[in-house]
Amino acid sequence: MASSLQTLSPSNFIVPFPQPSGIAEDRLRSPTWLTLSGADLCEGEWFKQTYQGSAGNFEKEMERLSAKESLLLAFKDAGGFQSLVGGKTTEMHRIDVNERIIGLERLNPTPRPTTSPFLEGRWNFEWFGSGSPGLFTARFLFERFPVTLANLVGLDMLIKDGYSKVTANLKFLNSIESKFLLTTKLSVEGPIRMKEEYVEGLFETPTVSEQAIPEQLKDALRQAAGSLQQLPAPIKDAVSNGLTLPLSGTFQRLFIISYLDEEILIIRDSAGAPDVLTRLEGPLPPLADETIATEYES
């Protein structure tokens, strides 16, 4: 093995070494390149420690990293999140993305994703299918607000302690910001299968940036704020705390996790439609008084 490696030319062999951090901030970040001398490769210490001494494992890891980058490029070519929620993604883009999703799924490095520590955290929706809570949230918003008035600027999901919380960031007239939060309960049903039950939706009270409000709307905004202050205290508190929609017992679904690593999560519903999410960096906010999902019983 050593003699064959020594015949490599040039004497320095370059291999891609993935960054450990998330990819949400820069979807198309180039890999960091690590240069190893021929002598280091002959000794094989780094190679053995990272890929357990198997050239096949090394090649499979490089194939997996390439498939991840290929999928992220396909999202960009399809127009990204805004094109997806706006219904502008073409059939050619959809089939291209689905082909690359399948290519990455077959390289899944996590055999029991439902109980993996990688599952918890905050994830950003890049792609979602017909049964996704992400699509439910988007439809809820766009069925109530014309696209000329409202814009869905982002959609993410926090998974923690057996619950998920989908947050849709909405902007009205490019100046009024609000959020719709959908809470669901997750139950582990197998090494790759989970059940999701909707719990509640919360439409938060909008926050307004007066600097961004058009001049013709500022008087109406001040009048609305004055009217709010004149409401009875219980009603005023209810309005300021947002509108809660009880959803328990209204909807549930089964899904499987077909791919999971430290950066990408792929979920498929019972119809096979995929959701693809990428991990967002940053600390996790606590979810109070929620039950931890228990290990399934085989």
Over 273-288, what HEC string results? CEEEEEECCCCCCCCC
Judged against a pLDDT cut of 60, whether residue 255 lies above it is answered with yes
Specify the pLDDT at position 97.
95
The residue written with tokens 């918003």 in the block is 141
Asked if residues 269 and 132 have their Cβ atoms less than 8 Å apart, the reply is yes
Judged against a pLDDT cut of 60, whether residue 26 lies above it is answered with no
Task: Quick: pLDDT tens for 169-215.
Answer: 877 766 678 888 999 999 999 999 999 999 999 988 777 655 655 56
Specify the pLDDT at position 128.
81
Judged against a pLDDT cut of 70, whether residue 118 lies above it is answered with yes
Considering the chain, what is the average pLDDT of its residues? 74
- Considering just the CA atoms, what is the radius of gyration of the chain in Å? 24
Asked if residues 230 and 236 have their Cβ atoms less than 8 Å apart, the reply is no
Q: What secondary structure, in 3-state letters, does 140-181 show?
A: HHHCCCCCCCEEEEEEEEEEECCEEEEEEEEEECCCEEEEEE
**How much is the average pLDDT of 239-258?**
86
Judged against a pLDDT cut of 80, whether residue 22 lies above it is answered with no
Judged against a pLDDT cut of 60, whether residue 112 lies above it is answered with yes
The residues near 97 (Cβ < 8 Å, ≥ 6 apart) are 71, 74, 75, 78, 127
For residue 10, is the peptide bond before it cis, meaning its omega torsion is within 30 degrees of 0? yes
Judged against a pLDDT cut of 50, whether residue 122 lies above it is answered with yes
* Fold assignment, 80-279: Lipocalin (2.40.128)
Specify the pLDDT at position 68.
96
Helix or strand (DSSP H, E) at 30: none
Asked if residues 7 and 56 have their Cβ atoms less than 8 Å apart, the reply is no
Q: φ and ψ at 189, to 5 degrees? A: -120, 0
| CA–CA separation, 214 and 218 (whole Å) | 7
Least-confidence region, from 25-34, 47-56, 94-103, 220-229: 25-34
Strand 12-17, strand 32-37: pairing: antiparallel
More confident residue, 135 or 177: 177
More confident residue, 126 or 24: 126
What are 216-224's contacts with CB under 8 Å, separation 24+? 217/173
Q: What does the block give as tokens for 294?
A: 């228990």
More confident residue, 221 or 64: 64
Specify the pLDDT at position 29.
43
Strand, helix or coil at 80?
Answer: helix
Judged against a pLDDT cut of 70, whether residue 95 lies above it is answered with yes
**How much is the average pLDDT of 269-298?**
65
| CA–CA separation, 195 and 33 (whole Å) | 41
Judged against a pLDDT cut of 70, whether residue 38 lies above it is answered with no
**How much is the average pLDDT of 226-233?**
55
Length of the chain, in residues: 298
Judged against a pLDDT cut of 70, whether residue 37 lies above it is answered with no
Specify the pLDDT at position 227.
56
**How much is the average pLDDT of 3-9?**
42
Enumerate the CATH 2.40.128.280 domain ranges in the chain, comma separated. Answer: 80-279
State the virtual CA torsion across 75, 24, 145, 78 in degrees, nearest 10.
-10
C-beta atoms surrounding 186 within 10 Å: 19
DSSP state of 21: S
Judged against a pLDDT cut of 50, whether residue 8 lies above it is answered with no
Q: What does the block give as tokens for 264?
A: 């990408």
Question: Is 198 exposed, middle or buried, given 0-12, 13-18 or 19+ CB atoms closer than 10 A?
Answer: buried
